[in-house]
Amino acid sequence: MLAPDGTRRPCPDLDRWVADVTPEQLRLMHRDMIATRRIDREGVALQRQGELGLWAPAEGQEGVQIGTAHALRRDDFAFISYREHGVAYARGAQPGDFVSIWRAEEHSSYDPYAIGVSNPQIIIGAQTLHAVGYAMGIQRDALHAAPGTRADQAAVSYFGDGASSQGDVHEAMVFAASFGAPVVFVCSNNQWAISEPVALQSRTPIVRRAAGYGMAARRIDGNDPFVCLAAMREALQRARTGGGPSLIEAVTYRIGPHTTSDDPTRYRSEAEVDAWRRRDPIARLEAYLRSMGELSDAQAQDAAALGERVATEMRAACLSMVTKAPLAIFDHVYAQPHSGIAREREQYRAYLRGFDDAE
């Protein structure tokens, strides 16, 4: 839809899905992509400074994350992996939410129900099944929806090219197809699973898996946020209208290391990374907006300033984080009173008290 240089190319299949998109909406996408990248850079910096244990950069993948997220409705629900902070940001996660996990203060941050995004999933592929189950719940709710209430939500699951090999992802597609569940699978094929090239996972484009389940699918340029928006809208509409699940394979690239612990020079060339840098999703949307005269310098500066603000808040939230009290580790293991945990907490409380007494 958008060429790497930002020129708009006709896309007969999908153009109608974005015919109504206003420049303002594109500017919002652009703004969120800038913020996502800024969050990323701050995350890496904080890690280097010893404030975070780890960071999993999404640099280069802002197109698919923001493009698809902007197609979602408030009442949809996204099940994400550890690398989809762009999705969480676009859905309303707060700056501090991105650091608490990687600072190892918490296993998750925001309330999933508040923004319609699950906690980031670390077990590769596991979240795809959760999305399908959630979508099956949507179907069941629709059976009893009060007249006039919306019952056509959709669930989304993001996952990587590496994840496509996991049995859970297969089973998710089997269930989704079997029940015609209103779910969209978004595979962010960023070419690598840590050091393993996508060719090790699949000798053929991952999108071709969908036909094996009788599922609709598209392979799109994941670095074109516009086409990501369009394809996602199409798939969501299919979900909302009883057309069942879809798979979107978004071809993109992980510009950074797998995580800050990774050393990608061991397994890929700078030339490869450079080639992908030239396909940058942010520059692309920016060029398009500029070419349309829809992004002024002031607007661009505003977007950058917002990104700075988010980064600053994220840093401030990070640095001001207070590790929870020791006994808080016993909270929320169970939802209801539990004799075992209660006793262990008491015993550990007594143990800690010994140190107070000693002092």
Partner 1 sequence: MVQMTMAKALGAGLRAALRDDPRVLLLGEDIGTLGGVFRITDGLLSEFGAARVIDTPLAESGIVGVAIGLAFRGYRPVIEIQFDGFIYPAFDQIVSQVAKLHYRTRGAVRMPLTIRVPWGGGIGAAEHHSESPEAYFVHTAGLRVVAVSNPEDAFVMLRQAIASDDPVVFFEPKRLYQVKGDVELDRPLADARPMGLARVVRPGTDVTVASYGAMVRTALDAATAAEDEGVSLEVLDLRSLSPLDDAALDASVRRTGRLVVVHEAPREAGLAAEVITGVVERSFDALRAAPVRITGHDLPYPPAKTEQHFLPDLDRILDGVDRALGRPNSLTGLQP
Interface map 190-219 toward ligand TPP (x if CB under 6 A): x-xxx-------------------------
Return left, alpha or beta for 239; rule: phi > 0 is left, psi -120 to 50 is alpha, else beta: alpha
What span, in angstroms and rounded, lies between the C-alpha atoms of 114 and 133? 19
What span, in angstroms and rounded, lies between the C-alpha atoms of 337 and 322? 27
Question: Is 122 near ligand TPP (CB under 6 A)?
Answer: yes
Beta strand segments in the chain, E: 77-79, 155-160, 183-189, 192-193, 196-197, 216-221, 246-251
Q: By C-beta, is 276 or 348 nearer to partner 1?
A: 348
CB of 203 to a copy of itself, least distance (A): 4
Q: By C-beta, is 34 or 163 nearer to ligand TPP?
A: 163
Q: Give the binding-site size for ligand TPP (rule: CB under 6 A).
A: 14
Q: By C-beta, is 93 or 193 nearer to Mg ion?
A: 193
Tell me which stretch binds partner 1 (CB under 8 A): 4-12, 28-36, 119-127, 287-295. 119-127
CB of 354 to partner 1, least distance (A): 5
Distinct helix (H) and strand (E) counts, the chain: 14, 7
Query: What is the SS3 assignment for 32?
Result: helix
Question: Is 131 near partner 1 (CB under 8 A)?
Answer: yes
Question: Is 202 near a copy of itself (CB under 8 A)?
Answer: yes
Cα–Cα nearest to 33, from 72, 75, 62, 11: 62
Question: Is 200 near partner 1 (CB under 8 A)?
Answer: yes
| Residue-wise burial string across 258-280, b where 16 or more C-beta atoms lie within 10 A, e elsewhere | bbbebebeeeeeeeebeebeebb
253 is catalytic: no
Q: By C-beta, is 194 or 333 nearer to ligand TPP?
A: 194
Question: Annotated active-site positions, please?
Answer: 254, 258, 267
